[in-house]
Amino acid sequence: MDFELSEEQKAFRDEVVRFAQRELGEGLIERDRGNVFDAKAWQRCAEFGIQGLPIPKEYGGQEADPLTTMLAMEALGYGCSDNGLIFSLNAQMWACEIPILRFGTEEQKRKYLPGLCDGSMMAAHGMSEPNSGSDAFSLATKAELRGDTFILNGSKTFVTNAPVSDVFVVFATTDRSLGFAGLCAFILERDFPGFEVGEPIHKMGLRTSPMSELFFHDCEVPATNLLGKKGGGMALFNSAMEWERSCILASTVGSMERQLERSIAYARERKQYGQPIGKFQAVSHRIVDMKLRLDTARLLLYRLGWAMGKGKASALDSAIAKLHLSESFLQSSMDALQIHGGYGYMTEYELEREVRDAFGSRLYSGTSDIQRNIAARFLGL
């Protein structure tokens, strides 16, 4: 069993860290306060090649294998504390680019993927509705085929990137009585008749990642923009979610490493009662737990990346990884804040923001409870 990364992978990870530290995160405290997305940073990421990591070169991508892609996202998390920007990158890559790559026609791939890779276009994914969150397949948005056009009516909520996106992968049903067999996916463009992007939604965390609702009022979608087969929406959605659950939290491993290093340094220099606070078990044990969570999270992530590259990954693997990484990220973020005491609670120390950002990881891409349900099912329970 070889746990060693290749020299190329190590060098690439270091290169991504340097890029992130140099180019990303400018004015983050103010942007978080004002819910401001960093469009310039997004473009810098595109120029570096982040958005194109999992996409073949023929469509403008980098053609990186899953593990190398995860390493890049981990490095972003270490070098950049703008979790909102990284969340937006993940939202486009796994829930929009991958479905188009895996299920799109050749025309759709060539029309949309190069722009999504080079930053000239942004994409958003619309599945959740006001009355269907975890129960994704109970959605009410309706699609009716009239000639060579689908007419969509309904709405979506909690759509990451929607306020600034040009392209949207959305789901609707042609017949609710068919259940999942009536589910279809579509590629929408922002200027399609009857399509409206709502006002920005303000959140507890990940504030630099824009979000809004989508509304379809007799929205006209060309039949050529059906993504995948008619009635094939469930397979497409499940595929996208498996990729998303596997990769969306890779950056948190880098964030946890950064938090650990910062907490160790603070515990060594901060003195109370005549000695560094790291000498107190209440502090040192927290730091040891942070190290334990970091190492186990990294092992799960790398094992999953390796399995994906070999075609051996399962929904159980991705559910376990998503569950452990999200819970670990939140707890380590809270521990880092606690170690810094009153200073950690202050905005300028940028630790309270990470707690707010981390809490969302237990909710998006399937809550922690849903991940436990998935894992239990695979265990025969």
276-to-1, 186, 204, 349, 351 alpha-carbon distances in Å: 40, 58, 34, 20, 20
Question: Is residue 1 very low, low, confident or very high in pLDDT (cuts 50, 70, 90)?
Answer: low
Q: What is the dihedral of CA 252, 254, 256, 261, to 10 degrees?
A: -170
Total residue count of the chain as it appears in this document: 381
pLDDT in tens, 17-42: 999 999 999 999 999 999 999 999 99
Quick one: pLDDT at residue 270? 97
Question: Is residue 136 very low, low, confident or very high in pLDDT (cuts 50, 70, 90)?
Answer: low
pLDDT in tens, 245-284: 999 999 999 999 999 999 999 999 999 999 999 999 999 9
Quick one: pLDDT at residue 362? 95
Q: Give the percent of the chain with pLDDT over 90.
A: 90
Q: Can you tell me the mean pLDDT for 348-365?
A: 96
Report whether 59 contacts 115 (CB < 8 A). Answer: no
Quick one: pLDDT at residue 3? 75
Return the axis-axis angle of helices 352-359 and 250-269, rounded to nearest 10°.
150
Q: What is the pTM of this model?
A: 0.95
- Say yes or no to pLDDT of 180 above 80: no
Taking phi over 0 as left and psi of -120 to 50 as alpha, with beta for the rest, 275 belongs to: beta
- Active-site annotation holds for 58: no
Helix, strand, or coil here: 126?
Answer: strand
Of the candidates 108, 100, 87, the residue with the CA atom closest to the CA atom of residue 42: 87
- Say yes or no to pLDDT of 134 above 80: no
Question: Is residue 127 very low, low, confident or very high in pLDDT (cuts 50, 70, 90)?
Answer: very high
Q: Facing residues of 222 across strands? A: 149
Q: Can you tell me the mean pLDDT for 194-215?
A: 97
- Say yes or no to pLDDT of 378 above 90: yes
Quick one: pLDDT at residue 133? 67
- Say yes or no to pLDDT of 324 above 80: yes
Quick one: pLDDT at residue 305? 95
* Active-site hit among 244, 261, 350, 352: 244
Q: Can you tell me the mean pLDDT for 143-149?
A: 95
Write the DSSP string, 90-102.
Answer: HHHIIIIIHHHHH
Share the mean pLDDT of the chain: 95
Quick one: pLDDT at residue 181? 80
Q: Which of these ranges, 53-57, 186-190, 363-367, has the smallest mean pLDDT?
A: 363-367
pLDDT in tens, 74-108: 999 999 999 999 999 999 999 999 999 999 999 99
Which domains are present in the chain? Answer: 7-122 (1.10.540.10), 124-231 (2.40.110.10), 249-378 (1.20.140.10)
